[in-house]
Amino acid sequence: MVLERIITKERIMLDISDIDKWTAIEDLAELIVTTVTGSDREVLLNDVISREEKASTGIGKGIAIPHARTSGVPTTVGALGISREGIDFESDDGKPCHLIFLIIAPQQESTKYLKALSEVAAIAKDADRIKRLVGATTPDEAMAVLGEAKGTGY
């Protein structure tokens, strides 16, 4: 499974609150640049923000997937922010997002990047997993729920 390989415990923020989507993206990007050697904060953020400005990545059901292909990272990487109160990502369903998956890949990468996005889409179809991720109290607990996607066929 790609998500459990690209999102590590160090790149999970629990119970983020009182911020907007731009700050959430910046905070998650910071987790990536401080844990991934060779990443470039400015390039990464510019590319993710540019993508988000074109169209919101709030996919509904409480999930947002800000993402981009960029020269700002050497490998496909992700971070997860969990917000119990929710953050407005201008989702199609108009509801706040409780799970924010930041997925970043080098410009030449397609396979891992698309698989990661597909795995998040699979999580969006599972209300129980969404609830358990939102309720996770430790990064280990969130990682265990992410790892369950092995049986989804992705």
| Structural domain contains residue 154 | no
| Structural domain contains residue 81 | yes
What is the rounded CA–CA span in Å between residue 107 and residue 123? 25
Could you say which DSSP state residue 70 is in? Answer: E
Residue 104 near residue 44, CB atoms below 8 Å: yes
How many domains does the chain fold into? 1
What CATH number did the domain enclosing 39 receive?
3.40.930.10
- Compute CA 109 distance to the chain's CA centroid, rounded to the nearest angstrom: 17
pLDDT at residue 33, rounded to an integer:
96
| Structural domain contains residue 151 | no
What is the rounded CA–CA span in Å between residue 37 and residue 126? 34
| Structural domain contains residue 94 | yes
Is residue 149 very low, low, confident or very high in pLDDT (cuts 50, 70, 90)? low
> Could you give the 3-state DSSP secondary structure of residue 32?
helix
pTM: 0.93
Cross-strand partners of 103: 67, 78
Is residue 1 very low, low, confident or very high in pLDDT (cuts 50, 70, 90)? confident
pLDDT tens digits for range 11-31: 999 989 889 999 999 999 999
